[in-house]
Copies of this chain bind each other. A is one copy, B any other.
Amino acid sequence: MAVSSGKSVLIYGGKGALGSALVDFFKAKDFWVGNIDFLTNDNANHNVILEKGLSFLEQAEAVTNGVPEGTQLDAILCVAGGWAGGNLESPDFLKSAQLMLEQSLWSSYIAASLAPKFLKENGTLVLTGAQPALKSTPGMIGYGVAKAAVHQLTKSIGSKKGGLPKGGKAYAILPVTLDTPMNRKWMKHDDSWTPLEDVAKILFNWISQQDTPPSGSLVQLITKDGKTETVIE
């Protein structure tokens, strides 16, 4: 685990679309990069591979044990997640609810739980919320509920007494639609989609202590005419 720049980042969901982009971006910036995911990312310096079917606490234990003892991180980025639609009448209402909690909230909680042990002072914790979950989400209830929970988690952990290491900051990024292959497969692309590299640059700035919002902020990523701006909720 050679740390060349002395900077290091751990990415929960580092084999997903956004996660892979972040792994590549931070590697190119000479960071040590760890990946936590169900699949190995060969570009990462270290992989923590998750088993399917674990309970919340089992997954947490597996992750904690998978991070090398003594690791001190500049940032923990949780970009794991998923999407499911459906309202109360959907036959899969509760199944989707459960899946969304597992994919978005469990991962966020577990990423956060690593901070006291593995995050440096003045380190950065980033979780992934969703801009639409700032309002009601009747067409995708399970998704909105899980994301609203992530928002509350971020606001609370990011508060003065939330328990982060000294000087630590927590943010949630709230994308509208990310420009991923999966989204291109299912939806008509338009120029309000946020390029993954824009997300990477914003996170890199924060980790470099540039343009940092107040800790606990929910940061909407609003893309317009090919330009992405951060809007603090």
Contact = CB atoms under 8 A, between A and B. Distances in A.
A50 B128 CA distance: 34
Contact of A57 (B98, B151, B155, B162): B98
A207 interface: no
Interface residues of A, number: 47
Given A109-B97, A110-B94, A163-B88, A145 B136 contact: no
A110 B97 CA distance: 10
Contacts of A95: 57
Nearest to A153: B145
A10 interface: no
A161 B57 CA distance: 35
A26 B124 CA distance: 51
A56 to B, nearest CB: 5
A84 to B, nearest CB: 13
Copies in the complex: 2
A149 interface: yes
Residue of A90, A97, A101, A147 most packed against chain B (CB within 10 A): A97
B116 A89 contact: yes
A79 interface: no
A162 B87 contact: yes
Given A57-B98, A88-B162, A136 B149 contact: no
Contacts of A40: none
Contact of A88 (B90, B112, B133, B147): B112
A144 B152 contact: yes
A91 to B, nearest CB: 10
Interface in A36-87: 56-57, 60, 87
B98 A116 contact: no
Nearest to A59: B94
Nearest to A157: B88
Interface of A: 56-57, 60, 87-90, 93-95, 97-98, 101, 105, 109-110, 112-113, 115-116, 133, 135-139, 141, 144-149, 151-153, 155-164, 216
